[in-house]
Structure 1
Amino acid sequence: MTTVSPKKNHDPARVNEISEKLMENPELASLISELSTTADDASELVKGLLQASINAGLQAEMDAHLGYSHSDRKTKAQVEPTHGGNHRNGSYTKTVNSGYGAVEVTVPRDRAGTFTPKMVPKGARRLTELDDMIVSLYAGGMTVRDIQHHLATTLGVDMSPDTISTITDAVLDEVMIWQNRQLDEFYPVIFLDALRVKIRDGHRVVNKACYMAVGVDMDGIKHILGLWIADNEGAAFWASVCADLANRGVQ
């Protein structure tokens, strides 16, 4: 199942800029003041803004796909014949889960069926921010059932244990791909060190040593070559680390 992919890393300065622009609009400022009187109201307001933003973005994507805006009849008459007569062909609604709960969005259609939205890809049922929340809860020590209950009680999102497990397993797959990636042949300097981090161990989160190799390339840029978790540090362990680096291309 694919997920919707909005911007992941929120820039506080950008958020403040958007907030200021919203409040500069008298009608919006009045509406926000009227609707947002409690924490629940604020949450619903954010969901409404999210819904409106996604819907507007989908319409803009369709405009770009067809080559003219919905209200531009003159350009439509000029462009439509060159696109095989392709034009808007209604829309359909779908629900995607977000960090603020379920949001219903309206996805436009085109007659030729060639429109492929990026904001809400076909088959998408979740915003990636919800995936990030699930991974964070899992890393914090919550079980799959705990996460399922948390999402249901706080966001009203009904998600199966299998879906939650699929999300957390996908992260583990990405970690394995990164850990086994090919490296450069030569690093003038390689540092081997360790730091104490919180690690999920079964249903608990405990402090363990995370051993790392950091390579410095010819331009002086540092690269994390690998991370390893081990109960004991010794000659055999570091020999296995060096063998791993050699197997991945380091000479």
Structure 2
Amino acid sequence: MTQLQFTLDLENLKESVINSDIEAVIKSAIVLVLNNVMEKERDDYLNVAAYERSADRRDYRNGYYERELLLNVGKVTLKVPRTRNGEFSTSVFEKYARCDQALVISMLEMVINGVSTRKVTQIVEQLCGESVSKSFVSSLTQKLDPIVNDWAKRPLNTRYFPYLFVDAMYIKVREHHQIVSKAVYIATAITDKNKREVLGLSVDHVEDFESWSRFIQQLKSRGLQSPKLVISDAHKGLQKAIQREFIGTSWQRCYVHFKRNIINKLPKKDSADIRKMIKRVFEAITIEDIRTFKNELMSQYGDIPKYEKALQIFEEGFEDTIQYMNHPEGMRCYLRSTNSLERLNQEVRRRERVIRIFPNTQSAFRLVGAVLMEYQENAYSRKKSL
């Protein structure tokens, strides 16, 4: 074991103790220890102690330079030994870089988990006794770029995804000195082994046929095969993109959105009975019962004018909303709605709400991607199966 000889500045320590500044005491002790560690490392490198003559000497001392080190007790200034040839290097900063890395990772996790930049700077100041700028925290998050980009571009041809869920949400982004609304496209899926997985995301200007087509094409370029069923809301551009990009794929309209659209057209008064019958239709266990209950509903209420708009929506979207019945019974409760994706969107929204306005599109992609990666790791991966 290396034996260290410490030359302590007792006056400095005595003054700190008398003034009851315990942080200063700790800092002073750390500085003394680390300075002596580096001095010992230089002696070992030179093969000779100070003021000692030896034929085995490798180099000569060349004074010191100051370098700051950020620790959990605050920032300290160390005297780093030098040699003439400049080849000596101390291991102190390399070892403590692990602490810096842990701090950086913690700061990134705080940002991903919805802690505002202002609060992150306050937390770091409380932990380290040093303040960091908002721009530093923002630049720090850029370390996530290669991680998120690699995840977003990972191949999807390693397994088959029979069921695909897609949805879009809107965020605020600063662009050309203006605040604009942008659409975030998110796709999740159920694998052939009945496990959920987040497939990818994209940030685009608007939600239309062209942008949905680009998103689906991006997924296909990574190896995504045409699924058996795509579950989404009834966006016309999305329906058209699904029909064009996926051959032989059925479309399932989210029955939660569908029911909501119907009920919104019902009168608030005197509609309890028809609401019960609508609920009865979608609670049926067999496709035969669903069609029977639907026919009974239309027969009983189809000629009543105040229900006309609601029943028109019901009639037009009925077939698209019962596509889940063509798939295994054990899967139907997972396929008839986009509820699982809606919950994921809510988690993204919770983190996004802290930021409110993204400084640019890349920062939005970075944060949403990091949230999706974390969500899958913490939520989906713990579920062995559906």
Provide TM-score, normalisation by structure 2: 0.34
> Considering only CA atoms, is the larger Rg found in Structure 1 or Structure 2?
2
Q: Which has the higher helix share?
A: 2
Q: Which has the higher strand share?
A: 1
